[in-house]
Structure 1
Amino acid sequence: MMKNKLVVFLVAGALLLLTPLIAQYFGNAWVRIIDIALLYVLLALGLNIVVGYAGLLDLGYIAFYAVGAYLFGLLASPHLADHFAAVRAMFPYGMHTPLWFVIPLALAVAGTAGVILGAPTLKLRGDYLAIVTLGFGEIIRVFLNNLDAPVNITNGPKGISQIDSIKFFGLDLGRTLDLGFISLPSVTLYYYLFLSMVIVSVIICYRLERSRIGRAWMAIREDEIAAKAMGINTRNMKLLAFGMGASFGGVAGSMFGAFQGFISPESFSLQESIMVVAMVVLGGIGHIPGVIVGALLLAALPEVLRYVAGPLQEMSGGRLDSAILRQLLIALAMIAIMLARPRGLWPSPEHGKAAPPPSGGVQPVPAK
């Protein structure tokens, strides 16, 4: 049995390592789609802590993604030096903060933002919690869109450009790496970085799920009153879930800023929040493999459907907008999947089912 698992892991690892090398022969655009899908996997894993483990519906999760992205954008671009004389005096060539400093800072800042969001919403549940978190996400986006006056902090709707690529150990992921026998473009290098971060995140989520904290979250999800009666500090556990989930979003956001080289408030709209929630629900709430499958499917599906929406637009004589048609096809695909698999594509195993009656011995007497 152990040998079979080892073989499966080795084959899966080899396929993951070869995937970008195969995809780049069909164009770097396909590798870029996979990169974005891996970033969504990071987001979905973080949201799964809040929604899947603790049972707290969060519709403003994309705000933490924005916090991480803008934090990296401000600390790794010439924006602050161009608009603030004090910063320009200390950093005349702009701030180019290294990766090892930005990622822990993004994790801490986003986690703190998650706790700040969770603190006033501890007594809310269900739809009421969803409405409050939705408002929080929109507040962050509006702030980012308007913090260009009277002091230009975020550059408003124009966004922040010239963001540094990720550099570590002398390797610049923004440039092609020539190994002699093969060239690895920037998107392929980012793929391996994002893949390693997804693997680390899966291990963290797996350990959390089987820890005392994870069991406490699931107890709150099933019955908060019973969990409180059993001595679980529901207040602290909820705050911890918000903070832990938000930290994943902050790290993913910083990676997004470095990968894109440009960020603007348009990248963090309500539609993105709803899409991440749909990834968790579609894949299977609370089940790590299902969440990964849902994130990969919904992140790649819009890009793949570009090649379907174009011909359909031509068939209609240009009367149908390809972007709207693509959204329609995505919605129809999601409806079809949820009708066929109501619990998600890969739901968690069901627990608590009644055991089958024994084959021998005393049979239970039916109640009269």
Structure 2
Amino acid sequence: MNRASLRDAATVAAVALLLFAPIVGLRTDVGPVGSLILRPRWGLVALLVGLVFCGRLAILAWQARGPARIALPRLPRIGRFLAPALLGFAVVLPVLPFTGRYELDIGILVLTYVMLGWGLNIVVGLAGLLDLGYVAFYAIGAYSYALLAQTFGWSFWICLPLAGVLAAFWGVLLGFPVLRLRGDYLAIVTLGFGEIIRIILLNWASVTGGPNGIGGIPRPSFFGLPFSADGGPGSFAGAFGLEPSPVHRVMFLYYLILALALLTNWVSIRLRRQPLGRAWEALREDEIASRALGINVTNTKLTAFALGALFGGFAGAFFATRQGFISPESFTFSESAIILAIVVLGGLGSQLGVAIAALVMIGGFELFRDLDEWRMLFFGGAMVVIMILKPRGLVGERTPTVTLGGQKKAIGGGMVGQGQG
């Protein structure tokens, strides 16, 4: 280990010390007579700084040896078996013996983020447009459903597509001003759009309820059969001769979000194989080359924003009817960051990777809930390790939709492909 590596590790450890000292080193506890006292934890800070120092040395040593020396499993090879296995498990989860109300709620939450990740994957993973304000379409769908259901008394099956269409309309409105922007500038504009929507929801109190939100949102019914507790003739339990139980509604919501997520996945896969999907991938790789090939960049970007917003609106409508109450606090920037992290960690453009990342991030958070604040430290470290070992995501080696066939031949020291497109 040379001096440069030690100096680099020491610098990183010093930065970690400055961050951990006030956050971890001092803990606020309740003292006598309701007073607050500070309890120092300098031993824990020293342990964390030591771990950071050793981890930095390990990273430098790994980079010096070369990443090719470390064999990592390639998930795309087992994807053809893993994807059906995950789908089968999701379908039978509600009827498994160990599944209770808590497990169903976790499954609904995970599937909601899977759907949001697949929707954002159209914009970021396929079209290459960095969107930091995706939660705005999530919020538009939720508030559109709540206002339509309460104002006109329409059912869930009518308000759901309308909420998605309204979110897609706002996606097109966002797409027009950012047609000439790329990279960081596009990210800043979309971030601002997300904050604008949140501020509107906070201040337009006469319509959105302001910080108090909207309550009493109608619950969905099973094609007109409500999930009532008395089990009357006109209820779901009465129509099928079942014992009334609140689990029936939760199971219905679970299969509903599963169907919506599968619809999002099916549409994304089908569009990827169409000329529009190929135009998205070409735009992601090189916008200038796409223009030179005659691709209508304007329509390509607008369709990506519109479709991504459409599925975000569907997820928002489901969130509103599941919760029965929505407020601006549910649609902050942290939600956009979580959805984007799911897409990046899973692998840009990978449907299976997004599903695995959502399962790990959202489900894992609940598994480690007893660790309190340590679960954030654990998952933060896990995300850093994944990005170092797999910088393109868990499933970041997806085969392109269109490839050049034939063999490669060396010409002048370079490799060119010969074959037909």
| 2:196 paired residue among 139, 143, 153 | 139
* 1:301-355 residue CA offsets vs partner (Å, 9 max, x unmatched): 222221232xxxxxxxxxxxx4xx3332221221122222221112243557998
Give the secondary-structure state (helix, strand or coil) at the position aligned to 1:48: helix
Match of 1:345 in 2: 394
Give the secondary-structure state (helix, strand or coil) at the position aligned to 2:129: coil
Q: Greater shift after overlay, 133-142 or 174-183?
A: 174-183
Q: Give the Cα–Cα distance (whole angstroms) in 2 for the partners of residues 33 and 221 of structure 1.
A: 34
| 1:266 paired residue among 313, 329, 339 | 329
Q: Give the Cα–Cα distance (whole angstroms) in 2 for the partners of residues 249 and 366 of structure 1.
A: 50
Match of 1:243 in 2: 306
Structure 2 vs 1, CA of residues 189 and 168 (structure 1 numbering), >3 Å: closer, same or farther? Answer: closer
Q: Give the Cα–Cα distance (whole angstroms) in 2 for the partners of residues 16 and 170 of structure 1.
A: 26
Structural mapping, 1:43-82, within 5 Å: 43-77=116-150
Give the secondary-structure state (helix, strand or coil) at the position aligned to 1:171: coil
| 1:219 paired residue among 277, 282, 292 | 282
Could you tell me which amino acid in structure 2 is paired with residue 15 of structure 1? F
Match of 2:381 in 1: 332
Q: Give the Cα–Cα distance (whole angstroms) in 2 for the partners of residues 261 and 364 of structure 1.
A: 64
Give the CA deviation at 1:201.
1.3
Match of 1:17 in 2: 91
TM-score by length of 1: 0.81
Structural mapping, 1:29-108, within 5 Å: 29-77=102-150, 95-108=152-165
Give the CA deviation at 1:36.
1.0
Q: Give the Cα–Cα distance (whole angstroms) in 2 for the partners of residues 202 and 265 of structure 1.
A: 28
Q: Give the Cα–Cα distance (whole angstroms) in 2 for the partners of residues 119 and 170 of structure 1.
A: 40
Alignment of 1:128 with 2:178, yes or no, is: no
Structural mapping, 1:119-198, within 5 Å: 119-148=176-205, 152-172=206-226, 178=237, 180=242, 184-198=247-261
Does the 8 A contact of 1:174 with 1:186 survive in 2?
no
Could you tell me which amino acid in structure 1 is paired with residue 194 of structure 2? G
Does the 8 A contact of 1:173 with 1:189 survive in 2?
no
* 1:269-323 residue CA offsets vs partner (Å, 9 max, x unmatched): 00000110000000010011111211222222222221232xxxxxxxxxxxx4x
Q: Give the Cα–Cα distance (whole angstroms) in 1 for the partners of residues 228 and 379 of structure 2.
A: 32
Match of 1:91 in 2: none
Q: Give the Cα–Cα distance (whole angstroms) in 1 for the partners of residues 337 and 360 of structure 2.
A: 15
Structure 2 vs 1, CA of residues 10 and 140 (structure 1 numbering), >3 Å: closer, same or farther? Answer: closer
Could you tell me which amino acid in structure 2 is paired with residue 157 of structure 1? P
Structure 2 vs 1, CA of residues 10 and 213 (structure 1 numbering), >3 Å: closer, same or farther? Answer: closer
| 2:168 paired residue among 101, 104, 111 | 111
* 1:68-106 residue CA offsets vs partner (Å, 9 max, x unmatched): 0011111223xx5xxxxxxxxxxxxxx421122211211
Does the 8 A contact of 2:93 with 2:99 survive in 1?
no
Give the secondary-structure state (helix, strand or coil) at the position aligned to 1:109: helix
Structure 2 vs 1, CA of residues 255 and 301 (structure 1 numbering), >3 Å: closer, same or farther? Answer: same
Give the CA deviation at 1:19.
0.9
Q: What is the count of residue pairs matched by the alignment? A: 325
Give the CA deviation at 1:356.
7.6
Structural mapping, 1:247-326, within 5 Å: 247-309=310-372, 322=373, 325-326=374-375
Structure 2 vs 1, CA of residues 237 and 8 (structure 1 numbering), >3 Å: closer, same or farther? Answer: closer
Q: Give the Cα–Cα distance (whole angstroms) in 2 for the partners of residues 276 and 366 of structure 1.
A: 45
Does the 8 A contact of 2:83 with 2:352 survive in 1?
no
Q: Give the Cα–Cα distance (whole angstroms) in 1 for the partners of residues 412 and 292 of structure 2.
A: 34
Does the 8 A contact of 1:162 with 1:262 survive in 2?
yes
Q: Give the Cα–Cα distance (whole angstroms) in 2 for the partners of residues 29 and 111 of structure 1.
A: 33
Does the 8 A contact of 1:216 with 1:237 survive in 2?
yes
* 1:222-253 residue CA offsets vs partner (Å, 9 max, x unmatched): 11111101110101110111111100100100
Could you tell me which amino acid in structure 2 is paired with residue 146 of structure 1? N
TM-score by length of 2: 0.71
Match of 1:92 in 2: none
Two-structure CA RMSD over aligned residues (Å): 2.9
| 1:210 paired residue among 248, 269, 273 | 273
Match of 1:319 in 2: none
Could you tell me which amino acid in structure 1 is paired with residue 321 of structure 2? A
Q: Give the Cα–Cα distance (whole angstroms) in 2 for the partners of residues 6 and 240 of structure 1.
A: 29
State the percentage of identical aligned residues: 44
Give the secondary-structure state (helix, strand or coil) at the position aligned to 1:346: coil
* 1:136-160 residue CA offsets vs partner (Å, 9 max, x unmatched): 0001001101111xxx111111111
Quick check: which has more Rg, 1 or 2?
Answer: 2
